């Protein structure tokens, strides 16, 4: 119960006023401040300065009467409860006063003390409760206006009783305009798919369910005819007996969410860089193409394309240019195929082209040729004219696979073959490739463990001075003893190691081992010879290469002048500038360099001339051309002549026969290496060779076995 601390009595009759005052004191309100004034103007003045808990108001004042007095008192103190005093027989005024906001009325002349106080207390309490209700209602509305969803309420006949601000904004109707109108008029919804008008969902739901009914895929037609994609939910409002008194409709604008979903679907299916379909979407398309081809006895071709030399451009010119180049290539690929075909990017510099309908293999061969040509044409990007080529592997449904995954995998395998065949070409898949691919895969896996498990060793093959027959050096050749597959040839695993990067640790192991071995031999007092070590492209291009070599030299105490690195000409001919730089540094350190497999690549003599190299090793394939008569090998002769003019030492490799040896000696080849003298051997055996030299008969032609003519060329130089 609220306490009353101040009472204002507005009564022009002093006697009546004093009587009321006394009654209040009598009833125990003596602590309260009871004031009385005789005029409305005095009351207004008083209220402006002193808050009152309750006003007792006579409706017959000199300056205000009846409802006018009530209104003015209300205005002067809007939140203060009022009890009016009326005359006898004035029931009408009393009722009007109650409707006009008075909490209670008392009839003059019938007032007794206890009833008076009860009436005042009741009035104060009632006012307090009213205020609280009002506050709650205001809070509720404020809350509903705050929520991000649109909300509307209807009565049982489906007429609007409430709308929040969001609902106003979304429908284009203001609440005052909408109130009392049918929901279907304010809230016009269509089925997003059929565009059929949806009957007032509120009606249906109110009858059938008390679960909220939620559905999406509706369009809301705004008052201005604009359409919004919405999702809405409807629930009945139930009273305490469980009878529906209306419905609440909540709806939400999902246009943005919908657009976002579409965009996400798009980006989930496309490559961000080129905008081409990605692998996921491509797989779907291949699946569709296969289904179609199966029904029409047609074929589907999958072209796996990898750029040659892209990494180089990306590394040297930067990613922004690399990205532009990829986009340019994407554009060209799309121009090479029909609209029904799909060009997709797999990431990196790999693309896959789906030819959805091919009649015979020539069809895809033609497409490959078009693509190879289109990619190879210069791409002018920023200020650069860039050149790249592509290697393509092709797999065809139904021969090479029944599903997208297999077709892609086999096209990928064929692409590797294409690269091995020399790039800028295409290759159809052949089942044998798979066997190789599997083997390659398992090779890679065991290679990863081979170093730790010490499965590698080095064999050494001597090089012979063709004038003196002395051993001039050794070439270190790696050997791998696989725990189950036995010996695996370096020709087989070195390329794999190159591809997966394992060549770096393997290469430094070889170098360190070879240098250490050379030291061991010199320490044992054996004649000093050069140690030749093969260096692969990736090792040579690796940033830490030079430092690595120098570190190994100093760690092992090997004299740099006795180390010779063998580099193939294809390694040397790429990136001429950085190559020249590294070679120069090697020369400064004393390390020598030989060009391995000379003649098989595309050496440019002008560069060879500039490079600080020390020796050329003529590839075995040329040595093989020397036939039994010791003739018809003009290339070998030419190479030797050229090396001499460049003042390079020339070494022939793979010498197996006496005829080959005779020819080489006749043409003043400096050194030779081959089975004829010795196979690569284990360190101990090599130490034996160093001690005793290769058998004289190995390089000195035994007279009995050769014709006079050949023999005459073979007299050891003195
Ligand atoms: P390569 O550098 O041209 O090495 C010469 C290859 O010819 C060796 O094969 C050697 O055993 C073989 N050979 C020597 N004399 C004859 C002969 O008279 N007749 C025939 N038919 N062959 C002969 P290998 O040891 O199988 O090595 C093959 C290739 O593997 C090497 O070719 C080299 O490119 C690479 N390789 C070997 N060891 C290493 C290494 O430690 N590091 C790197 N990066 N590559 C290596
Ligand atoms: Ca070599
Ligand atoms: Ca070689």
Q: Atom 8 in ligand 1: which residue has the minimum CA distance?
A: 477
Q: 503-523 and 490-500 helices cross at what angle (nearest 10)?
A: 130
Q: Which residues of 271-306 are buried (b: 16+ CB within 10 A; e: fewer)?
A: beebebbbbebbbebbeebbeebeeeebbbbbbbbb
Last residue of a domain, one of 212, 235, 259: 259
Strand order in the sheet with 82-86: 33-37, 6-10, 54-58, 82-86, 104-107
Ranges of the chain whose pLDDT falls below 50:
204-212, 702-718
- Calculate helix-pair angle for 361-376, 319-336, nearest 10 degrees: 140
Element (H, E) at 482: strand 471-482
Which pLDDT does position 712 carry in this prediction?
41
Please classify residue 331 by burial: count the beta carbons closer than 10 Å to its beta carbon, then call 0-12 exposed, 13-18 middle and 19+ buried.
Answer: middle
Nearest CA, atom 25, ligand 1: 477
Asked if residue 248 and residue 285 are part of one domain, the reply reads no
Q: Model confidence over 358-401: pLDDT tens digits? A: 877 678 888 999 999 999 999 999 988 888 999 999 999 999 99
Last residue of a domain, one of 95, 126, 143: 143
Q: Are 597 and 609 within one domain?
A: yes
Is 442 a domain residue?
Answer: no
Query: Which pLDDT does position 702 carry in this prediction?
Result: 45
State the ligand closest to the CA atom of 566. 2
- CB–CB of 636/626 below 8 Å? yes
435, part of any domain: no
Two structure tokens written together for 466: 């063709």
Distance 568 CA to ligand 2 centre (A): 8
C-alpha 7, offset from chain centre: 76
Instruction: Tell me which residue has tokens 């003519």.
Output: 709
CA of 620 to the centre of ligand 2 (A): 11
Q: Give residue 4 CA to ligand 3 midpoint distance, Å.
A: 114
Q: Do the domain assignments include residue 11?
A: yes
**172 within a domain of the structure (yes/no):** yes
Taking the CA of residue 477 as reference, the ligand 1 atom at the shortest distance is: 38
Looking at residue 424, which CATH number applies to its domain? 3.30.70.270
518 shares a domain with 596: yes
Count of domains for the chain? 4
Write out residues with Cβ below 6 Å of ligand 1: 461, 476-478, 489-491, 494, 507, 510, 534-536, 566, 596-597, 620, 653-656, 674-675, 680
The pTM assigned to this predicted structure is 0.50
Neighbours of 104 (CB within 10 A): 18
- Asked whether residue 454 is domain-assigned, the answer is no
Instruction: For residue 595, tell me if it sits in a domain.
Output: yes
Tens of pLDDT, residue by residue over 421-438, are 777 889 999 887 777 767
Whether 566 and 534 have beta carbons less than 8 Å apart is answered as yes
Q: Which of 76, 110, 143 is the last residue of a domain?
A: 143
Question: In this predicted structure, what is the pLDDT of residue 705?
Answer: 42
From 477, 478, 512, 564, the mutation candidate for ligand 1 (largest count of ligand atoms within 8 A of CB) is: 477
CATH code, domain carrying 182: 3.30.450.20
Name, in order, each residue with C-beta under 8 angstroms of 623's C-beta and a sequence gap of 6 or more. Answer: 636, 652, 653, 654, 655, 656, 660, 664, 674
pLDDT, tens digit (0-9, with 9 covering 90-100), for 27-81 = 877 788 889 899 999 999 999 998 899 999 998 899 998 889 999 999 999 889 9
- Closest ligand to residue 680's CA: 1
**674 Cα–ligand 1 center, Å:** 10
pLDDT for position 29: 78
Residue 308 CB partners (closer than 8 Å, separation 6+):
388, 389, 390, 391, 419, 423, 424
Q: What is the pLDDT of residue 110?
A: 85
Where helices occur in 569-695 by DSSP H, the ranges are 569-572, 576-589, 605-610, 620-623, 634-645, 658-666, 683-692
Ligand sitting nearest the alpha carbon of 458: 1
Please report whether residue 449 resides in a domain. Answer: no
CA of 571 to the centre of ligand 3 (A): 13
For residues 166 and 247, state if they share a domain: yes
State the pLDDT at residue 333.
Answer: 96
Tell whether 248 and 388 lie within a shared domain: no
Question: Same structural domain for residues 120 and 91?
Answer: yes
Rounded CA-CA distance 316/322 in Å is: 9
Distance CA 678, CA 680 (A): 6
Q: What is the CATH number of the domain that holds 86?
A: 3.40.50.2300
- C-beta atoms surrounding 141 within 10 Å: 13
Can you give the pLDDT at residue 477? 98
Judgement on whether residues 535 and 618 belong to the same structural domain of the protein: yes
Domain that holds residue 200: 147-259
- Same domain? For 514 and 488 the reply is yes
Residue 451 CA, ligand 2 centroid: distance in Å? 21
548, part of any domain: yes
Q: Answer yes or no: do 387 and 506 share one domain.
A: no
For a mutational test of ligand 1's pocket, the pick from 464, 534, 568, 619, i.e. the residue with the most ligand atoms closer than 8 A to its C-beta, is 534
How close is the Cα of 567 to the center of ligand 3, in Å? 9
Same domain, 384 and 251: no
* Whether residue 527 is found in the same domain as residue 648: yes
pLDDT score at 27: 81
Q: Are residues 378 and 359 in the same domain?
A: yes
Q: What pLDDT is recorded for position 200?
A: 59
Instruction: Return the CATH number at 497.
Output: 3.20.20.450
């Amino acid at each position: 119960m609220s306490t009353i601390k101040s009472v204002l009595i507005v009564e022009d009759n002093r006697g009546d006023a004093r009587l009321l005052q006394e009654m209040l004191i009598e009833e125990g309100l003596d602590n309260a401040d009871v004031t009385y004034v005789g005029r409305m103007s005095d009351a207004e003045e008083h209220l402006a300065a002193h808050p009152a808990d309750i006003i007792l108001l006579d409706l017959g004042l000199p300056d205000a009467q009846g409802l006018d007095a009530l209104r003015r008192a209300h205005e002067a103190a809007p939140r203060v409860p009022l009890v009016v005093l009326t005359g006898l027989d004035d029931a009408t005024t009393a009722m009007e006063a109650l409707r006009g906001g008075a909490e209670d009325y008392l009839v003059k002349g019938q007032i007794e003390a206890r009833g008076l106080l009860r009436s005042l207390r009741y009035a104060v309490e009632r006012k307090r409760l009213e205020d609280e209700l009002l506050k709650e209602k205001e809070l509720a509305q404020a809350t509903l206006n705050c929520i991000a969803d649109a909300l509307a309420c209807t009565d049982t006949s489906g007429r609007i009783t409430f709308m929040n601000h969001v609902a106003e904004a979304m429908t284009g109707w203001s609440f005052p305009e909408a109130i009392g109108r049918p929901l279907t008029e304010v809230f016009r919804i269509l089925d997003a798919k059929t565009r059929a008008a949806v009957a007032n969902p509120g009606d249906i739901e109110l009858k059938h369910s008390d679960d909220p009914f939620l559905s999406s895929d509706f369009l809301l037609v705004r008052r201005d005819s604009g359409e919004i994609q919405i999702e809405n939910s409807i629930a009945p409002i139930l009273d305490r007996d469980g009878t529906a008194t209306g419905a609440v409709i909540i709806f939400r604008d999902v246009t943005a969410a919908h657009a976002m979903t579409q965009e996400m679907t798009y980006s989930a299916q496309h490559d961000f860089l080129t905008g081409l379909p990605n692998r996921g979407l491509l797989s779907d398309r291949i699946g569709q193409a296969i289904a179609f081809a199966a029904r029409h006895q047609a074929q589907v071709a999958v072209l796996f394309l990898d750029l040659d030399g892209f990494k180089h451009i990306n590394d040297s010119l930067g990613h922004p240019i690399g990205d532009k180049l990829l986009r340019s290539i994407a554009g060209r690929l799309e121009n090479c195929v029909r609209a029904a075909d799909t060009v997709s990017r797999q990431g990196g510099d790999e693309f896959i082209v789906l030819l959805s309908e091919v009649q015979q293999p020539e069809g895809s061969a033609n497409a490959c040729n078009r693509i190879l040509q289109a990619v190879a044409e210069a791409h002018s990007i920023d200020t650069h004219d860039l050149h790249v080529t592509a290697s393509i592997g092709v797999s065809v449904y139904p021969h090479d696979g029944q599903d997208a995954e297999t077709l892609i995998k086999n096209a990928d395998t064929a692409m590797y073959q294409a690269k091995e065949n020399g790039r800028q070409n295409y290759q159809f898949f052949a089942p044998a490739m798979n066997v190789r691919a599997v083997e390659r895969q398992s090779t890679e896996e065991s290679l990863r463990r081979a170093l730790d498990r010490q499965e590698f060793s080095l064999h050494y093959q001597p090089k012979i001075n063709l004038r003196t027959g002395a051993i001039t050096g050794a070439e270190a050749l790696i050997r791998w003893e696989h725990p189950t597959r036995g010996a695996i040839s370096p020709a087989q695993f070195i390329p794999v190691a190159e591809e997966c990067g394992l060549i770096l640790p393997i290469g430094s192991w070889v170098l360190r081992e070879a240098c250490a071995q050379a030291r061991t031999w010199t320490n044992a007092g054996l004649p000093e010879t050069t140690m030749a070590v093969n260096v692969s492209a990736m090792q040579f291009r690796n940033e830490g290469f030079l430092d690595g070599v120098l570190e190994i030299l100093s760690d092992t105490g090997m004299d740099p002048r006795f180390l010779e690195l063998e580099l193939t000409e294809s390694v040397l001919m790429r990136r001429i500038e950085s190559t020249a730089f590294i070679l120069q540094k090697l020369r400064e350190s004393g390390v020598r360099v030989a060009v391995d497999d000379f003649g098989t690549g595309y050496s440019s003599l002008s560069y060879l001339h500039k490079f600080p190299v020390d020796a050329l090793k003529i590839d075995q394939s040329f040595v093989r051309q020397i036939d039994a008569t010791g003739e018809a090998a003009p290339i070998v002769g030419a190479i030797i002549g050229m090396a001499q003019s460049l003042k390079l030492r020339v070494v022939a490799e793979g010498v197996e026969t006496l005829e080959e040896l005779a020819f080489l000696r006749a043409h003043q080849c400096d050194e030779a290496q081959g089975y004829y003298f010795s196979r690569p051997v284990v360190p101990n055996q090599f130490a034996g060779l160093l001690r005793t030299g290769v058998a004289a008969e190995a390089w000195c032609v035994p007279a009995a076995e050769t014709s006079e003519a050949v023999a005459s060329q073979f007299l050891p130089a003195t």
